[in-house]
Amino acid sequence: MTSDDLNQIRGVVKEEIAVSEHRLKEEISASEQRLRGEMSASDKRVMTDVGNFMEDKVLSTLESHTATLKSHTTALKQIISNTENTSDNTIRLDKRVIKVEDHLGITHPPELNITR
């Protein structure tokens, strides 16, 4: 074999390597594009599933708890109002009883005193 023959073989081998390299790059690029498309579809599916879960479970539970909290708040305000009224009435009645007991000369046991 001569030097020209070796150069021709090198040229053919380089050409084949370049063609193979180009084909591999195209295949890799196509695979990347397909994978990105699949990932994008998967991401959208996951986001949709998460959104549906949030709407179905979390938001409905939150709305339910919010409604319960509002009803409890209303009940507590009513209880506070009733307690304040009862306390005021107890004080007024205690004053009246003290006046009546003083007028009649009655002494009551200390354990019956109303603490304020």
- 90 neighbors 114 (Cβ within 8 angstroms): yes
Q: Does this model's pTM top 0.85?
A: no
Give every CB contact of residue 110 below 8 A, 6+ residues apart in sequence: none
The predicted structure's pLDDT at residue 76: 92
Tell me: the pLDDT tens digits for 54-104?
Answer: 888 888 888 888 889 999 999 998 988 888 778 888 888 888 888 988 888
Distance CA 91, CA 85 (A): 10
